[in-house]
Amino acid sequence: MRDVAVIGVGMTKWGELWDKSLRNLFVESALLAIEDAGVEKIDSMVVGCMSSGLFTGQEHLASLLSDYLGRNPIPAARVESACSSGGLAFRQGFLEVASGMSDVVLVGGVEKMTDVTGCEATFALGTAADQEYEGYHGLTFPGLYAMMAVAHMDRYGTTRDQLSMVAAKNHDNGSKNPLAQYPFKVSVEAVNKSVLVADPLRILDCSPITDGAAAVILCPLEAARKAKKPAVRIAGSGHATDTIALASRADLAWLESTRLAADKALAMAGRKVEDMDLFEVHDCFTIAEIMVTEALGLVERGRGGRAVEDGLTALGGKFPVNPSGGLKAKGHPVGATGVAQVVEVVKQLRGEAGERQVKGAERGLTQNMGGTGGSALVHIFEAG
């Protein structure tokens, strides 16, 4: 396989964007990535999107978007893996270049979520769970993650305050990210007192419903070294699955697919997790980030709550987690999230992250997952 690098990134302001359609959102980010990369020709594209069918009544998405980007007849593929659709798109784009099938590949992620009612959005997101064994019994994602939180609190003594500290930390970081949907700070107290959604999870434990897109340009490393901006090499890619039904898991308080994907990506890169300077991870709920830090091996099993309390995962800490603000503050347009994580890591490794820059960052990791961890994608990035 050829070495592959990211040479361009693009993302616009996320939010509740009623004046923009799915195709607008995608094209805006894609054009920014193309401009950032300084390329003219695109050989193929891959789009991550979870459920444009249920959210906007539109499938056949990649062809539509290649057309609106003015790029048809290039090969264009859409991939889906629930909330890890963006991470999966990135991996497929990596394979396109690594295999030699394409030289310059656009990878984008997009989700337009606010053109439906709250009930419809909850149903659409619920399709990431097992409909026959979970959905039909009324389970939705706040409920599923609430059960994971209860299991984690019971087993390891994780506290309500520790959950809130994840939200407070990510909003601190997000307040420095002008593209974030909610770029403001929230206190631990405010999270603790916010409306209850599914005990113990409160509204400020949850990532929001978001319209947004993100895009990156990939090419062979050799060509990347002649590009406009510093090359960021994709050193490792890991992908694993688990049961999508939480009921089928051996352990509600552990994310095995994340562990396996991380092991594969790190082995491919020849690195240890401690070698990474920053982490963009899937904090769809505060408990998720706590469990991800454990599954990645940043801390021992059960110590994820303590890690945030000790400042280990803060912007100035030993392992900065979610400098972008994470899904919590930046927003979570489900198909776009995995690609936006890559956008952040590339900006950090280029030293373009402004107020939220992790000083001297040379290596970063992204972790994106679907549902309650039924799928997980981990990628490792290195400067140059």
Containing 298, the helix (H) or strand (E) segment is: none
Contact between 383 and a second copy by CB under 8 A: the answer reads: no
Among 7, 32, 39, 79, binds a second copy (CB under 8 A): 79
292 touching a second copy, by CB under 8 A: no
The span from the CA of 102 to the CA of 367, in Å, is 25
**Least distance to a second copy, CB of residue 105, Å:** 12
The answer to the question of residue 371 lying near a second copy (CB under 8 A) is yes
Sheet with 278-280, strands from edge to edge, namely 44-48, 105-111, 212-220, 4-11, 232-241, 375-383, 363-370, 278-280
- Show Cβ contacts of residue 257 under 8 Å, excluding neighbours closer than 6 positions: 240, 241, 242, 369, 373, 374, 375, 376
Query: What whole-number distance in Å separates Cα of residue 49 and Cα of residue 109?
Result: 6
Structure tokens at 87: 């991470």
* Sole window of 25-33, 62-70, 151-159, 322-330 interacting with a second copy (rule: CB under 8 A): 62-70
Active site residue 332: yes
Residue 328: helix, strand or coil by DSSP? helix
- Specify whether 119 is catalytic: no
**One character per residue 22-41, x = contact with a second copy (rule: CB under 8 A):** -x------------------
Strands (E), 193-311: 196-198, 201-202, 212-220, 232-241, 278-280
- Residue 120 binding a second copy, by CB under 8 A: no
Q: Which of 16, 35, 67, 222 binds a second copy (CB under 8 A)?
A: 67
Q: Are 366 and 86 in contact (CB under 8 A)?
A: no
* 137 makes contact with a second copy (CB under 8 A): no
293 binds a second copy (CB under 8 A): no
* Subset of residues 217 to 246 that bind a second copy, contact rule: CB under 8 A: 239-245
Binding site for a second copy (CB under 8 A): 1, 21, 23, 44, 50-54, 56-64, 66-67, 72-82, 88, 91-92, 95-96, 98-101, 123-124, 127-132, 135, 239-245, 248, 256-257, 260, 370-371, 374-375
